[in-house]
Amino acid sequence: MIVDSLKLAREQQRVAGRFAVAQLPRLVESLLGNTGDLDYVIAGDKDTHERPLLRLQVSGVVQLQCQRCLEGFAQHVDIDTALRLVAEAALDAEYEACGDDPSEPECIAASSELDVAALIEDEVLLALPPYPRHEAGVCESKLVGANVASKVASQSVTAFSALQALKVN
Ligand SMILES: [Zn+2]
């Protein structure tokens, strides 16, 4: 899906839709599996200085792999951000201004052919944790559970071997 970002902002139009995670290959590389959907709304607007911007909301659930216990878990995506549209030629100069002030919206290059899927993909990638992990305590309880399970298994093997030994005698 392609939109004219400046036209969207100027006419304060709104586009909304849903992407299956499987449609976003760069995102899938960072996930555990390709299940889930992401709903999005992009609304054209202007800032207090009459500069064009896009308000972007993305929500959904993706599957991440915990880097501690390697199990999967569901991560909610809930993005609500504003992106200021800057002429591509001015982007370098403007980018520094944007980067200096955290209260200012992020800048992206204005484009008459904005690829909506790529934009959503970029924003979701930025929003994901760099080192995905379960919340505190979750992995620990899983790991303790796994240890108990393997102990029980090894004990029952021992008991079974003892029975076998008895039978042989
Ligand atoms: Zn974990």
Count the helix, strand and coil residues of the chain and give each as a percent rounded to the nearest 5.
40, 30, 25
C-alpha dihedral over 29, 30, 31, 37, to 10 degrees?
-80
Please give the C-alpha separations between residue 136 and each of 52, 69, 72, 105, in angstroms, as whole numbers.
Answer: 42, 12, 15, 32
> Which of 162 and 138 is assigned the larger pLDDT?
138
- The overall average pLDDT reported for the chain is 86
- Cα of 34 to ligand 1 centre, how many Å? 19
User: What is the per-residue pLDDT for 162?
Assistant: 56
Contacts of 142 (CB under 8 A, 6+ apart): 69, 71, 134
Q: Which two tokens stand for residue 79?
A: 């993005």
Which amino acid would we find at residue 100?
D
Return the exposure string of 31-44: e unless at least 16 CB atoms fall within 10 Å of the residue's CB, then b.
bbebebebebebbb
pLDDT of residue 110: 94
> 88 pLDDT band (50/70/90 cuts)?
confident
CA of 67 to the centre of ligand 1 (A): 7
Separation of 69 CA from ligand 1 center, angstroms? 4
Q: Per-residue pLDDT averaged across 115-128, rounded?
A: 96
Query: Does the pTM exceed 0.75?
Result: yes
pLDDT (mean) for 150-168: 55
Residue 99 is predicted with a pLDDT of: 61
pLDDT at 152: 54
Residue 138: name the closest of 77, 78, 60, 75 by CA: 75
Name residues whose C-beta falls within 8 Å of residue 100's C-beta, 6 or more positions apart in sequence.
Answer: none
| % of the chain at pLDDT higher than 70 | 79
Q: Where are the domains of the chain?
A: 2-133, 135-169
- In this prediction, residue 38 carries a pLDDT of 98
Distance in Å, CA 140 to ligand 1 centroid: 8
Using the mean position of ligand 1's atoms as its centre, give its distance from the Cα of residue 134 in Å.
4
pLDDT at 5: 97
Predicted pLDDT of residue 89? 82
